[in-house]
Amino acid sequence: MAKTTSDTTTTKGPVTLLIGTRKGAFTLRSDASRRTWKLSLPMFLGHIVHHMVLDPRDRRTLLMAVSTGHLGPTIYRSTDAGKTWKESSAPPAFQKMPEGEKGRSVDHVFWLTPCHANEPDAWYAGTSPQGLFRSDNGGVTWTAFSYINEDPQYLEWMGTVQDGTPDGPKLHSIIVDPRDPKHLYFAMSGGGVHETVDGGKTFTPLIKGLDTVEGFDAATVTFHDPHCVRLCPSNPDRLYQQNHCGIYRLDRPSDQWVRIGKNMPKAIGDIGFPITVHPRNADVAWVFPMDGSTVWPRVALGGKPAAYVTRNAGKSWTRQDKGFPRADAWWTVKRQAMSRDGHDPVGLYLGTTSGEIWASRTEGQSWACIARHLPEIYAIETATLGR
């Protein structure tokens, strides 16, 4: 039986990247030094793989959120670290509404999160359009979690498909407090950040301090567009957020987000999609800024890719572009496509819309391309597979 690894544990040995792309899933496995990498053959070639996640509680079970251009959404699950896969017998689906009433349909499952370490085989899933689901049997069957999927107030906050991102509004960043399985966060694009402390009996918005697009009322939950939220494993009272309107930090029990992106260089700004945090130092976080000017090109600013790191909880930021192209690189990193491992120093991984994977073994001080010519990359998760 493989051991469960705490998210703050310093890991050693080979790292496996779980890569979801617009045309299938791949794994990329390193040697112990993380210098050489071996790419797998594609899995589910041609399927849209939105997220692939390892269960850290057994380090053998993998779930993969899948759809295709034609077919509806499903979840595949493997209990042998990806050797074989079976389809969920009841994937996430909204409540069937009576004839004549308008009901929602899941377009795709976007986000997967294993539940608390004390809840083996339990998972959460976030969907597009926004829905929150749970499985208590390792992803075999899924049911709506909590009341929000059909709640009139939440439906108003979720808005319509027109209010969401170009490929559909999403529920994402489902975060479980490692100290308390009843304490969860999730985020919606659009629809703000939300929290429950009673296992989903009640949820409350957590949007104070967050900006909205100019001219929109920041007190209206609907107008908030968090792109990615991360909790610091080493200090679960601290969260970081990359939002449509800036980079933020929240230190609980405060409910007031602080816009730490204002400390970014003015020429760069604080717009982007992904954010990732250090496993053992809550003052350290990385972002990958993108061009949010005019029509929102959503590419590396000036065609010059760079990560930015803060080592003091957002008081200042340092550019990290060594190894990246110096010019003419017009790619984007999606919100699920930036990840890190648990090594010391921490390894960082970026997947681009142009199908490249960039890695840093030095916490961002230098970067190297470790795979190219893949399909458009949607998501990267790191995994330490059990034997």
Q: Residue numbers of the site for another protein (CB under 8 A)?
A: 68-72, 74, 87-89, 91, 93-97, 103-106
The least CB distance from residue 134 to another protein, in Å, is 17
The least CB distance from residue 104 to another protein, in Å, is 8
Query: What does residue 338 show for φ and ψ, rounded to 5 degrees?
Result: -130, 125
| Minimum CB distance to another protein smaller for 96 or for 373 | 96
| Minimum CB distance to another protein smaller for 155 or for 258 | 155
Q: Bridge partners of 123? A: 114, 135
Q: Is the separation of the CB atoms in 14 and 26 below 8 Å?
A: no
Q: Is the separation of the CB atoms in 71 and 84 below 8 Å?
A: no
| Minimum CB distance to another protein smaller for 74 or for 146 | 74
| Minimum CB distance to another protein smaller for 95 or for 204 | 95
Q: What is the Cα–Cα distance from 251 to 160, expressed in whole angstroms? A: 31
Q: How many C-beta atoms lie closer than 10 Å to residue 372's C-beta?
A: 12
Return the SS3 of 144.
strand
Q: Is the separation of the CB atoms in 237 and 252 below 8 Å?
A: yes
| Minimum CB distance to another protein smaller for 88 or for 241 | 88
The least CB distance from residue 88 to another protein, in Å, is 8
| Minimum CB distance to another protein smaller for 107 or for 211 | 107
Q: Bridge partners of 243? A: 226, 246
Residue 313 φ/ψ region, left for φ over 0, alpha for ψ in the -120 to 50 degree band, beta for the rest: left
The least CB distance from residue 168 to another protein, in Å, is 12
Token pair belonging to 119? 């809840």
CA torsion sign for 364, 366, 371, 375 is positive
Query: What does residue 2 show for φ and ψ, rounded to 5 degrees?
Result: -70, 150
The least CB distance from residue 120 to another protein, in Å, is 25
Q: Is the separation of the CB atoms in 196 and 184 below 8 Å?
A: yes
Laid out side by side, the sheet with 24-30 consists of 37-39, 24-30, 16-21, 377-383
The least CB distance from residue 23 to another protein, in Å, is 10
| Minimum CB distance to another protein smaller for 75 or for 210 | 75
| Minimum CB distance to another protein smaller for 70 or for 387 | 70
Return the SS3 of 228.
strand
| Minimum CB distance to another protein smaller for 90 or for 213 | 90
Per-residue CA distances from 118 to 56, 57, 178, 182 (Å) = 12, 9, 9, 11
Please choose, from the candidates 175, 173, 180, the residue with its C-alpha nearest in 3D space to the C-alpha of residue 197: 180
